[in-house]
């Protein structure tokens, strides 16, 4: 069992269950956020921890023959909860045993449903809101998971992590909806610099990832040509991505897989969709009135990471008592931990269409 926090691929290496390892690898492939999110398996649902925010002890001068004053940094105690989620993947016995199948239906269904699973996790980490909790199988409201957006909207939440409210930054309507001029490209980069610096000066900048809506990802080559500040690199798995300084820039991806992920009439399927200028999500905005946000996260033990009670678990429950249904169950639990108030930021009011 990993003591973490570690990323999902490192967590997979610690499991002696092949099915768990396969599912965690699929989860990484199907969620850009899960590729970088660090996870600590804690064996329970709730975790209390401390943040040091602004009450730090400092030294003072001393005369010869004297000692030194006693100091104490005063922590703020906060808490996080790992909320459970999962799914049952059912396949009819007759389909599973059909000799005409090119591939195993149960494996095919598991792989396909992990696309949806990864999208669900990405959307939850960014957009989880206790005011819109979803519905549990019983019909009751699901647990109130809180995502990055909610925490930045509620930076002094009661009992939860305390964040720096100034890290929700208004971009002033900078217009990336058409090919940007050099002035616009540099204005955009200055806004990014502002958000990154506010985080960097407090947390060191290591592990910073910016999650972008698809419109801004598509505009990066134009911005690069106009401003000349972006680069491309490869990670240890050979995947190519764009960087800005030491910040990795990635598409936040889909929260709900769909046949037309870049539907020109709605952004409802995306993790980061269209907003009005004040940052309120509206997936039905008309062309010329579409704005969006960028979320920057520092992943790591000293910044933001997730807790899980057991980690990702996959159980082959075999043939159920009905005699016709093979079931595979995939489950997990997650909650977000912010060890510093400067672990996340959001830049909103960016015109994208």
The candidate with the shortest Cα–Cα distance to 119, out of 329, 262, 269, is 269
Report whether pLDDT(330) > 70.
Answer: yes
The pLDDT value recorded for residue 245 is 86
Closest CA to 188 of 163, 155, 220: 220
What domains sit in the chain, N to C, each tagged with a CATH number? 1-59+72-353 (3.90.1690)
pLDDT at 161: 75
* From 1-10, 90-99, 207-216, 317-326, the region with the lowest mean pLDDT: 1-10
Q: What is the pLDDT of residue 204?
A: 62
Question: Which is more confidently placed, 340 or 212?
Answer: 212
Phi, psi of 96 (to 5 degrees): -65, -30
User: Which residue shows structure tokens 């494996």?
Assistant: 107
Query: Quick check: 203 pLDDT over 70?
Result: no
pLDDT mean over 53-80:
87
Q: How confident is the model at residue 201 (pLDDT cuts 50, 70, 90)?
A: low
Please say if the pLDDT value at position 1 is more than 60: no
* pLDDT above 70 (res 175): yes
Lowest mean pLDDT among 37-51, 190-204, 290-304, 320-334: 190-204
pLDDT value, residue 27:
93
| pLDDT over 70 at 158, yes or no | no
96 vs 88, more confident: 88
Per the listing, tokens 């960087």 go with 243
* Residue 237: per-residue pLDDT: 60
Mean pLDDT of 314-329: 96
Instruction: Please say whether the beta carbons of 282 and 352 come within 8 A.
Output: no
In this model, does residue 322 exceed pLDDT 60?
A: yes
Closest CA to 295 of 227, 203, 236, 209: 209
Question: How many angstroms separate the Cα of 119 from the Cα of each of 81, 114, 153, 230, 333?
Answer: 21, 8, 22, 27, 15
Q: Give the list of residues 6+ apart from residue 48 with CB closer than 8 angstroms, or none.
A: 77, 78, 79
pLDDT exceeds cutoff 70 at 2: no
The CA distance from 81 to 145, in Å, is: 8
Residue 326: what are its φ and ψ, rounded to 5°? Answer: -90, 135
């Amino acid at each position: 069992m990993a003591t973490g926090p570690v990323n999902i691929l490192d967590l997979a290496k610690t499991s002696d269950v092949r099915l768990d390892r396969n599912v965690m690898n699929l989860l990484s492939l199907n969620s850009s956020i899960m590729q970088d999110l660090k996870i600590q398996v804690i064996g329970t649902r709730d975790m209390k921890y401390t943040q040091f925010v602004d009450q730090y002890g400092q030294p003072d001068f001393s005369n010869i023959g004297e000692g030194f004053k006693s100091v104490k940094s005063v922590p703020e105690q906060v808490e996080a909860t790992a909320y459970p989620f999962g799914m049952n993947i059912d396949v009819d016995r007759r389909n599973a045993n059909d000799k005409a199948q090119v591939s195993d239906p149960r494996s095919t269904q598991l792989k396909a449903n992990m696309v949806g699973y990864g999208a669900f996790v990405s959307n939850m980490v960014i957009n989880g809101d206790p005011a819109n909790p979803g519905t549990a199988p019983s019909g009751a409201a699901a647990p109130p998971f809180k995502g990055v957006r909610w925490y930045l909207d509620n930076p002094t939440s009661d009992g939860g992590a305390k964040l720096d409210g100034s890290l929700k930054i208004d971009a002033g309507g900078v217009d990336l909806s058409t090919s940007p001029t050099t002035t616009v490209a540099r204005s955009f980069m200055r806004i990014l610099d502002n958000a990154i610096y506010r985080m960097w000066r407090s947390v060191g900048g290591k592990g910073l990832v910016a999650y972008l809506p698809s419109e801004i990802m598509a505009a990066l080559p134009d911005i690069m040509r106009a401003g000349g500040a972006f680069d491309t690199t490869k990670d240890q798995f050979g995947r190519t991505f764009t960087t800005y300084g030491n910040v990795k820039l990635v598409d936040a991806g889909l929260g709900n897989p769909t046949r037309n992920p870049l539907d020109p009439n709605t952004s409802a399927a995306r993790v980061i969709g269209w907003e009005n200028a004040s940052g309120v999500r509206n997936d039905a905005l008309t062309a010329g009135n579409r704005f969006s946000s960028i979320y920057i996260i520092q992943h790591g033990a000293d910044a933001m990471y997730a807790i899980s009670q057991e980690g990702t678990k996959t159980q082959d429950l075999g043939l159920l008592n009905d005699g016709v249904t093979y079931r595979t169950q995939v489950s997990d639990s997650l909650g977000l931990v912010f060890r510093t108030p400067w672990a996340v930021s959001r830049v909103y009011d960016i015109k994208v269409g």
